[in-house]
Structure 1
Amino acid sequence: MTTGLLIVVLVAVFIGAIAQRIAGLGFALLISPFLVILLGSHGGVLMVNVCGLVSSALIMFRVWKDIDWSMYRWLAVPAVIGSVPASAAAVYLPAGPMAVVVGAVVLAALSVSLLMQRTSVTVTGNGAKAVAGFVSGVTNAVAGVGGPSVSAYALMARWPQRPFAATLQPFFVTIAVVTLTAKISLDPGQMPPFQAWAWALIALMIIGGIYAGEKLQRFIRDDQARAAVVVIAFFGAAAALTKGIIDLVA
């Protein structure tokens, strides 16, 4: 691991943590495509799961009073059911197709999220929650991106931003723990080859990003933060998709 590569990873993690604290999601969307390019498909997605687990766990205790635990249960149980087989499948997918999957999933998720913001459709009932949770579990395991399906549900269910952002934190912790446990059990060699001091720096960047996000939250509206995340994630996803296609052709 070169110093330059580590610096890029640290910057990406720091910016992702800021987005996660301000908007409640965006960490994975923002950094998943870039980490796939930098660390490879399997290592990049696993890295996203690790960082997402840490950032959501830290944020969760800051927003505890706003968490809707009933909503959490309806999302989390189906997500766990989807995560386990998807994690096993992701372990055995070759690197080229994985990069294509990551890029395509993020691009599709972003596009659907943008379309959902313009719709007047309203969904009700527990079935929609379960579907959103299941899809989130699958996409998190395969591409490191679990937010778009629950975000689309939130938009169509008219779920207020504060409890939505708070409830996603224990939800992301849950699916990250399940995914990491499954993947590392099947293939311990997937973990990115960082030294202990590098992992410590990554943890510091997550903490620093969360702190910076709390300070910036006073001046940045949620819709502005989400718009910035979408723009950056679009570029990153397109780059990951292109890299995967090049790897497949080569």
Structure 2
Amino acid sequence: MIDPVTLLLYAAALFVATVAQRVIGLGFGLVMGPVSVMVAGPIAAVPLNCIFSAIGCALMLPGVWRDVDWRRLVWLLLPALPATVAGLLVARIVPTDALRIAVGTVAIAGLLVSVAFTRTQHTLDGPATRIASGLAIGGLNAAVGVGAPPVGVYALVSRWDPRVLAATMQPFWVVLNLATLASRQLLVPEGFPDWPWWAWVGAAAAAALGTLLAHRIAHRVPASAARTAIVVLSLAGGAAVIVSGVAGLIAG
């Protein structure tokens, strides 16, 4: 259950996360991950994030339709979908806190290497890069609810235009999160949030308001600022996952 005050705080965070998601194409899980854990607990946090990320991105899709890179979307999505099953299976076997520390460490290392790579004149965007990125995004999103860091890595090494990235990731997250929810229902059915109807409606309304505001400001954000935000949010996501894992080990 959730009380009205907690719902108001959750809705405020959801509003901010939706704006970030529209402007740079990632950030929802990074903002909402810790908040969802505090509100609903670690087990229910992943499906909760999947639900509202899918809702928010679906609301954004009509406004970004013309900028979606459908070819690259397919390249990333096809490996990401089966990786959701693998991620859920790994999460059932490996202790959650240890998994979070490992994932966060690898994510930060990958981002640092990617930032160094962008200082060269090379671009890394072949089929192998896209497949590996899709596998990492889908697996980590399902396992620990943080798929943004590998998106940031791929965006940097491929030098993906931020505007096209932000547009393409909206349908990507809709499909991936729905697939994660379906896979979770089959493999890990327990832990679904027990909220009253008014809580679902209130949170969905916050996502809708965030979408309206985000559409107004998205085109005013310079490409350089968007790239910086991708790096910062991805690093923050990796660090947050490590901290949550360490905190869990200490508490346990």
Tell me which interval the TM-score lies in, with the shorter structure as reference length.
0.7 to 0.9
CA contact (8 A) 2:24 2:165 kept: no
After TM superposition, the structure 1 = structure 2 runs for residues 199-238 of structure 1, keeping only pairs within 5 Å, are: 199-224=200-225, 227=228, 238=239
Q: Please, what is the CA RMSD of the aligned residues?
A: 2.8
Identity of aligned residues (%): 33
SS of the residue corresponding to residue 62 of structure 1 reads helix
* 1:231, distance to aligned residue in structure 2 (A): 5.1
* 1:7, distance to aligned residue in structure 2 (A): 2.2
Query: What corresponds to 2:190 in structure 1?
Result: 189
Query: What corresponds to 2:8 in structure 1?
Result: 7
Name the CA distance, whole Å, in 2 between partners of 1:215 and 1:128. 33
Query: What corresponds to 2:249 in structure 1?
Result: 248
* 1:243, distance to aligned residue in structure 2 (A): 4.3
Name the CA distance, whole Å, in 2 between partners of 1:124 and 1:238. 26
- Can you give the 5+ residue segments of structure 2 that lack an aligned partner in the other structure? none
Query: What corresponds to 1:48 in structure 2?
Result: 49
Deviation per residue, 1:33-91 (Å, 9 max, x gap): 33234432221122111111111212122211222222111111111121112123335
CA contact (8 A) 1:10 1:201 kept: yes
Evaluate the alpha carbon distance shift between residue 204 and residue 56 of structure 1 in structure 2; reply closer, same or farther with a 3 A threshold.
same
Query: What corresponds to 2:23 in structure 1?
Result: 22
Deviation per residue, 1:145-204 (Å, 9 max, x gap): 223323322322222222222221221122111111111223333212221111111111
Query: What corresponds to 2:161 in structure 1?
Result: 160
SS of the residue corresponding to residue 217 of structure 1 reads helix
Name the CA distance, whole Å, in 2 between partners of 1:147 and 1:232. 8
* 1:25, distance to aligned residue in structure 2 (A): 1.8
Name the CA distance, whole Å, in 2 between partners of 1:147 and 1:238. 12
Paired AA for residue 36 in structure 1: V
Query: What corresponds to 2:131 in structure 1?
Result: 130
* 1:236, distance to aligned residue in structure 2 (A): 6.9
After TM superposition, the structure 1 = structure 2 runs for residues 165-184 of structure 1, keeping only pairs within 5 Å, are: 165-184=166-185
SS of the residue corresponding to residue 146 of structure 2 reads coil
After TM superposition, the structure 1 = structure 2 runs for residues 78-93 of structure 1, keeping only pairs within 5 Å, are: 78-91=79-92
* 1:108, distance to aligned residue in structure 2 (A): 5.4
SS of the residue corresponding to residue 151 of structure 1 reads helix
Query: What corresponds to 1:144 in structure 2?
Result: 145
Evaluate the alpha carbon distance shift between residue 39 and residue 111 of structure 1 in structure 2; reply closer, same or farther with a 3 A threshold.
farther
Evaluate the alpha carbon distance shift between residue 119 and residue 83 of structure 1 in structure 2; reply closer, same or farther with a 3 A threshold.
farther
Name the CA distance, whole Å, in 2 between partners of 1:108 and 1:30. 21
Name the CA distance, whole Å, in 1 between partners of 2:34 and 2:122. 30
Deviates more, 1:122-131 or 1:88-97: 88-97
Deviates more, 1:89-98 or 1:45-54: 89-98
Paired AA for residue 148 in structure 1: P
CA contact (8 A) 2:115 2:156 kept: no
Deviates more, 1:43-52 or 1:133-142: 43-52
Evaluate the alpha carbon distance shift between residue 168 and residue 219 of structure 1 in structure 2; reply closer, same or farther with a 3 A threshold.
closer
Evaluate the alpha carbon distance shift between residue 5 and residue 222 of structure 1 in structure 2; reply closer, same or farther with a 3 A threshold.
farther
Deviates more, 1:170-179 or 1:157-166: 157-166
Evaluate the alpha carbon distance shift between residue 116 and residue 178 of structure 1 in structure 2; reply closer, same or farther with a 3 A threshold.
farther
CA contact (8 A) 1:76 1:175 kept: yes
Evaluate the alpha carbon distance shift between residue 81 and residue 119 of structure 1 in structure 2; reply closer, same or farther with a 3 A threshold.
farther
Name the CA distance, whole Å, in 1 between partners of 2:237 and 2:169. 23
Deviates more, 1:229-238 or 1:1-10: 229-238
TM-score (norm 1): 0.84
